[in-house]
């Protein structure tokens, strides 16, 4: 190989490295207030979100994560459908204060107001998706970061009960449309759940039947 | 007169209990056996076991994924998470002959952290996971099955082995006076049972576990 070729190869790898580095390295967000304002504007105009997701549950006792897959639907106001297809069918529908779960063998409806745990989990999950959680500055210590492609927000709960359940919440947003692309929930012992969202459709037509309890 | 009624009642209870304990296997041959290991199906520390879990407690229904990970001969970790990845509990089940307390709670979600709930859960999960050498009170057998009877913490356990299975397929748990619970193992093979049912008598608590083949 000539000196010129070796040099070209070296340059190529340097660029590959730089490209990889620029995608992953996050630095402090230059203007968090502008991000929040823009995010709130976009949230206001977002009527529906539909996407696929892959969820990895990482437990320190397991060598490999537990992988779940499915489809996620959100429709204003407060209508959420988590439809798991792997490792088995499981459906969660949240509509206002009502929560409905269904699997192959059972179905059950809950009033989240009568169950504080469900109410908190419901608010938390919906808040992570529609971004309401960013406005709860009293409930979380929030750190804002960014790179070329994503905004990255780290939330540390102030409430000791919440902190007992989740030590940190990491949310990644696509810079192009401010939608959530990844949600990572880290527990006290370091175990974590990572949910990646893809094939996103924003403001598509989602039928109300998707959120019916039957 | 009052004493007569009390004595009659006591005789009736003891008689009923005797009938129950001995009718169950009165046509089997009685044998005396030395101390022997009763190993759980979940004793291979190179493996982990994943089950879809359904729990009915009073009027509540919980579902999720249960991970059973043996750490060594005397310690097994059991983690229960919801489908969305929220951890409900993380227990260490220990050999009761080696440890004064047979379980340790690494984590349990706040609404379930009452001592009575923790004890009940640990007792039931302990039935699935505990290994250890046990002293048999006695054993019975016929052409179809062998039954080992052991005594532990004020309860009697009957391990029923069908001759064609890899291990026991039923555990009966009895107190001095009554049947307490029954664990039935289905689809027994050389890795782990395909499904497990735990049924309580006189307590509104039942479990079904279905193995997820990874």
Give one DSSP letter per residue of A118-179, joined into a string.
HHHHHHHHHHHHHSGGGG-TTTEEEEEEE-SSEEEEEEEE-SHHHHHH-SEEEEEEETTT--
Report the pLDDT value the prediction gives residue B31, as an integer from 0 to 100: 63
Structural domain contains residue A171: yes
Structural domain contains residue A169: yes
Query: What CATH number does residue A89 fall under?
Result: 2.50.20.10
Q: What is the Cα–Cα distance from B77 to B69, expressed in whole angstroms?
A: 5
Structural domain contains residue A189: yes
CB-count exposure of residue B180 (10 Å: 0-12, 13-18, 19+): middle
Structural domain contains residue A140: yes
Is B69 a residue whose pLDDT tops 90?
A: yes
Q: Identify residues of A whose CB sits under 8 angstroms from chain B CBs.
A: 55, 57, 59, 61-63, 66, 68, 82, 84, 87-88, 90, 92, 101, 103, 105-106, 108, 116-117, 121, 125, 161, 164-165, 185, 187-189, 191, 193, 195
Query: What are the extents of the domains in chain B?
Result: 36-211
B84 touches chain A (CB under 8 A): yes
- Those residues whose C-beta lies under 8 Å from the C-beta of residue A60, and which sit 6 or more positions away, are A189, A190, A191
**Pick from A200, A179, A210: nearest CA to A45:** A179
Average pLDDT over residues B88-109: 87
Do the Cβ atoms of B67 and A62 come within 8 Å?
yes
Domain B36-211 belongs to what topology? Answer: outer membrane lipoprotein receptor (LolB), chain A (2.50.20)
Structural domain contains residue A214: no
Q: Cβ of A103: how many Cβ atoms within 10 Å?
A: 18
Report the pLDDT value the prediction gives residue A21, as an integer from 0 to 100: 44
Q: What is the Cα–Cα distance from A44 to A48, expressed in whole angstroms?
A: 11
Structural domain contains residue A79: yes
For residues B72 and B93, is the Cβ–Cβ distance under 8 A? no
Set of chain B residues whose Cβ sits within 8 Å of the Cβ of A85: none
Average pLDDT over residues A198-204: 92
* Number of domains, chain A: 1
* CA distance to A112, A130, A168, B14, per residue, from A84 (Å): 21, 20, 24, 52
Query: The domain containing residue A81 runs over which residues?
Result: 3-209
Is A195 a residue whose pLDDT tops 90?
A: yes
Q: What is the Cα–Cα distance from A93 to A207, expressed in whole angstroms?
A: 14
How would residue B176 be classed by pLDDT, with cut points 50, 70 and 90?
confident
Report the pLDDT value the prediction gives residue A116, as an integer from 0 to 100: 64
**pLDDT tens-place string over residues A100-111:** 888 887 888 877
Report the pLDDT value the prediction gives residue A15, as an integer from 0 to 100: 43
Do the Cβ atoms of A61 and B69 come within 8 Å?
yes
Before A77, cis peptide (omega within 30)?
yes
């Amino acid at each position: 190989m000539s000196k010129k070729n070796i040099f070209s190869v070296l340059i190529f790898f340097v660029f590959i490295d730089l490209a990889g580095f620029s995608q992953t390295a996050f630095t402090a967000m230059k203007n968090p207030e502008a991000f929040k304002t823009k995010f709130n504007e976009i949230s206001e105009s977002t009527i529906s979100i539909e996407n696929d997701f892959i969820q990895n549950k990482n437990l320190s006792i397991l060598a490999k994560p537990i992988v779940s897959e499915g489809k996620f639907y959100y429709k204003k106001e407060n209508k959420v459908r988590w439809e798991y297809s792997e490792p088995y069918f499981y459906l969660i529908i949240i509509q206002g204060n009502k929560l409905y779960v269904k699997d192959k063998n059972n179905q059950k409806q809950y009033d989240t107001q009568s169950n504080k745990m469900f109410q908190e989990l419901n608010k938390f999950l919906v808040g992570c998706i529609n971004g309401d959680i960013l406005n709860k500055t009293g409930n979380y210590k929030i750190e804002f970061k960014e790179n070329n492609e994503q905004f990255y927000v780290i939330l540390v709960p102030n409430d000791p009960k919440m902190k007992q359940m989740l030590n940190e919440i990491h949310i990644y947003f696509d810079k192009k449309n401010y939608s959530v692309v990844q949600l990572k929930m880290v527990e006290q012992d370091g175990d974590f759940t990572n949910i990646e969202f893809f094939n996103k459709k924003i403001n598509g037509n989602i039928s109300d039947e998707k959120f019916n309890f039957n | 007169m009052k004493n007569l009624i009390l004595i009659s009642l006591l005789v009736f209870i003891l008689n009923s209990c005797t009938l129950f304990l001995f009718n169950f296997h009165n046509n089997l041959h009685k044998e005396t056996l030395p101390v022997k290991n009763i190993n759980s199906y979940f004793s291979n520390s190179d493996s982990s076991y994943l089950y879809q879990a359904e729990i009915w407690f009073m009027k509540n229904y919980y579902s999720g994924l249960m991970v059973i990970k043996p750490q060594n001969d005397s310690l097994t970790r059991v983690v229960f998470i919801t489908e969305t990845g929220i951890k409900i509990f993380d227990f260490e089940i220990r050999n009761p002959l080696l440890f004064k307390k047979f379980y340790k709670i690494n984590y349990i979600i706040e609404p379930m952290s009452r001592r009575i709930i923790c004890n009940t859960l640990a007792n039931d999960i302990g039935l699935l996971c505990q290994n250890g050498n046990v002293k048999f009170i006695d054993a019975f057998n016929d052409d179809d099955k062998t039954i080992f009877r052991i005594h532990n913490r004020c309860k009697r356990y009957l391990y029923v082995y069908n001759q064609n299975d890899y291990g026991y397929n039923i555990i009966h748990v009895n107190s001095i006076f009554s049947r307490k619970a029954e664990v039935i193992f289905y689809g027994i093979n050389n890795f782990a049972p395909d499904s497990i049912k735990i049924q309580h008598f006189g307590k509104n608590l039942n479990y079904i576990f279905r193995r997820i083949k990874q």
